[in-house]
Amino acid sequence: MRSTPRPGAVSSTVRRGLVAAAVLAIGSTAAVATATSANAAVSCKVTYDASEWQGGMSANITIQNLGDALSNWTLTFTFPNSGQKVAQGWSANWSQSGSNVTATALDWNKSLATGASTNIGFNGTWTSSNPKPTDFKVNGVSCNGTPQSPSPSPSQSPSRTPSPSPSQSPSQSPSPSPSQSPSRTPSPSPSQSPSQSPSQSPPPGTHVDNPYVGATGYVNPDWSRSAANEPGGSRVSNISTAVWLDQIGAISSGSAGNNSMGLREHLDEAVRQDAANGSAPLTIQVVIYDLPNRDCSALSSNGELKIAQNGLARYKSEYIDVIAGIMADSKYSNLRIVTIVEPDSLPNLITNVSNFQACQEAQSSGAYVQGVQYALNKLHAIRNVYTYVDAAHHAWLGWDSNFGPMVNLFYQVATGTTAGTSSIDGFILNTANFSATVEPYFNINTTVNGQSVRQSKWVDWNYYVDEQSFAVGLRNALVAKGFPNTLGMLIDTSRNGWGGSARPTGPSTSTNVDTFVNQSRVDRRIHAGNWCNQSGAGMGERPKAAPAAGLDAYVWIKPPGESDGSSSAINNNEGKGFDRMCDPTYTGNSLNGNSMSGALGGAPVSGHWFSAQFQQLMQNAYPPLS
């Protein structure tokens, strides 16, 4: 049996950022090291790129081997200022003595073929100034020249095939709320809007910029049947929702609960729907969701594969290879197949490594990064398949201490694939979560009686108050980092409408910043870190192509009415645990501000139909259902 997704998980909790006066590009410095050992010429290029804020920094370092193949490596450098310190590093063993920093390879990235690169990095602190280091050495050799030829008598020829190694993200711990507000404000619009609609319809199967423009959406018969069986459900039962492949068995026989169709059955049905819809192309959305140690910080949706039990190899051969093989079948070549790649995976490497052993293992082994890169390589190679990588939501990554490292990690993952940044068509936000698309009555620049809304308990010093502003800010940062300007963003609006009688009709008149925000916000959750079967939620904007500049679509990825997790422990043969965040009596923990969970009672295990939730989602839909 298969386990299915739940919204956001404990990993989706609010994470406070460090005080950040500004995010400043330190720039990069490149150095080339050369030397000759007994049997090989050593030559490498080191690139240092970092962002900084007041007292803090996040640095990313690329080591490229330009000489003979290396079986191991050690990077050293010296900080120019004695107040510069490495606080927490990733993708290497980090140590510091005085101003001297050493990074040694891990087992999974110690071998570098000629031309291969590996990405490592760290979060750090600084005091009076933060100059960039320049004296990089690899295996004790100073950077001083150009690539060297190998010595004439090696025992065997080194490999000349680059094999990029994955990178890892740092863990981040919440810090106390800062005493003053940083000056940085998010950009209100993308630096440049990508082209959203072609002048004429491209031939079927062509890889287009935005797969949603001009297309009809696939109606999942499994979900549609469940929705139509509910009183009033026919109003939404023909809306396009995603197909979740949450276990190897789901590829052939469907996920949990009422979902029984396998991937081929769905694609065959999509071909039938496409033929019935005339000349318009059809877009079908498929969630790729089975990494080893999946949802490493949650209990209700842990996956079947474990890193310690050969999980990464099984993920590649038994899961991704099988999915890619089916999608590559020529009879599906006219479909636009949108894949949602591994919800909650990479964001967990940013915020939850410190607190969860399963996340630590996902980071130290490289399994999350390598798994996502493998999936991107396989799926991107199919011309009519589109890849959108999960990027959590604003109440998870909206602080600079999370935002900057996440941008860097996305870039490192992408550049480690065969096609580089082109292997990712876009990113998706709010997958299976409840964060409002737009807060209509205040924004991040709103002040109340001289206080920024960032100082309110709800916003909690975040730089964003809703998903659309976060999508714009994230897209701008990714494009500035090196992603193409065609990059598109998706927002899951399946359960973030927050309509009904509790929805505010205008901004509050209170002069107290907390009261103002609480009375003005349409997101009615008790705490923005709450994620499970939220009481009072409603269906949001219906799926829509190109709803705003830089956005490819509003989409329904989490099928409304499918439970996020059981309200109490329920014995099951699907391997699903009990997460207290799904218990309506739970008084919370530090991850949600020790708030009540806000979950509905009477919920079944994740992925099973939850009639009471579906009825409430329809009742509180915004825009209202007709």
pLDDT in tens, 225-247: 999 999 999 999 999 999 999 99
Binned at pLDDT 50, 70 and 90, residue 11 comes out as: very low
Q: How much is the pLDDT for 152? A: 40
Which run of H or of E encompasses 350?
helix 345-351
Q: How much is the pLDDT for 37? A: 40
Ranking 69-83, 297-311, 421-435, 481-495 by mean pLDDT, the lowest is 297-311
The residue type found at 376 is L
Q: How much is the pLDDT for 22? A: 33
How confident is the model over 554-593, as pLDDT tens digits? 999 999 999 999 999 998 877 678 899 999 999 998 889 8
Q: How much is the pLDDT for 346? A: 96
> What burial class does residue 156 get, using C-beta atoms within 10 Å of its C-beta: 0-12 exposed, 13-18 middle, 19+ buried?
exposed
Q: 149 pLDDT exceeds 60?
A: no
> What burial class does residue 183 get, using C-beta atoms within 10 Å of its C-beta: 0-12 exposed, 13-18 middle, 19+ buried?
exposed
Smallest CA-to-CA distance from 203 within 214, 219, 216 is with 214
Given the residues 523, 552, 564, 579, select the one marked as catalytic.
564
Q: 28 pLDDT exceeds 80?
A: no
Whether 295 is a known active-site residue: answer: no
Ranking 13-22, 274-283, 407-416, 583-592 by mean pLDDT, the lowest is 13-22
Q: What separation in angstroms does the CA of 364 have from each of 212, 315, 406?
A: 37, 17, 17
Q: How much is the pLDDT for 596? A: 97
Q: 299 pLDDT exceeds 50?
A: yes
How confident is the model over 519-560, as pLDDT tens digits? 999 999 999 999 999 999 999 999 999 999 999 999 999 999
Whether 390 is a known active-site residue: answer: no
Measured in degrees and rounded to the nearest 5, phi and psi for residue 370 equal -65, -35
**Which has the higher per-residue pLDDT, 3 or 395?**
395
CA 247 to CA 318: how far, in whole Å? 10
CB-based contact 3:574 (threshold 8 Å) = yes
Average of per-residue pLDDT across 415-437: 97
Q: 185 pLDDT exceeds 70?
A: no
**Which has the higher per-residue pLDDT, 571 or 145?**
571
Sheet containing 41-53: give its strands across. 24-36, 41-53, 56-65, 117-125, 85-90
Ranking 120-129, 253-262, 263-272, 505-514 by mean pLDDT, the lowest is 120-129
Binned at pLDDT 50, 70 and 90, residue 31 comes out as: low
Q: 1 pLDDT exceeds 60?
A: no
How confident is the model over 56-71, as pLDDT tens digits? 777 878 888 888 888 9
CB-based contact 593:277 (threshold 8 Å) = no
DSSP one-letter string for 212-241: TTT-EEP--HHHHHHHHTSTTGGGTTTS--
| Token output for 20 | 């950040």
CA 91 to CA 106: how far, in whole Å? 7
Q: What separation in angstroms does the CA of 7 have from each of 50, 121, 379, 460, 573?
A: 32, 30, 24, 21, 21
Percent of the residues in the chain that have a pLDDT greater than 70, as a whole number: 82
Binned at pLDDT 50, 70 and 90, residue 30 comes out as: low
Average of per-residue pLDDT across 27-38: 49
**Which has the higher per-residue pLDDT, 475 or 179?**
475
CA 404 to CA 199: how far, in whole Å? 36
CB atoms within 10 A of CB 430: 36
Q: How much is the pLDDT for 5? A: 37
Q: How much is the pLDDT for 234? A: 98
Percent of the residues in the chain that have a pLDDT greater than 90, as a whole number: 65
Average of per-residue pLDDT across 302-312: 91
Q: 509 pLDDT exceeds 70?
A: yes
Q: In degrees, to the nearest 5, what angle opens at C-alpha 317 toward C-alphas 316 and 323? A: 80
| Token output for 91 | 């993708």
Measured in degrees and rounded to the nearest 5, phi and psi for residue 523 equal -70, 110
How confident is the model over 103-128, as pLDDT tens digits? 998 876 788 888 777 778 787 888 88
Sheet containing 137-138: give its strands across. 93-97, 100-104, 74-78, 137-138, 141-142
Given the residues 68, 274, 344, 460, select the one marked as catalytic.
344
Q: 164 pLDDT exceeds 50?
A: no
How confident is the model over 186-216, as pLDDT tens digits? 433 443 444 444 446 678 888 999 999 999 9
Q: How much is the pLDDT for 54? A: 67
Q: 33 pLDDT exceeds 70?
A: no
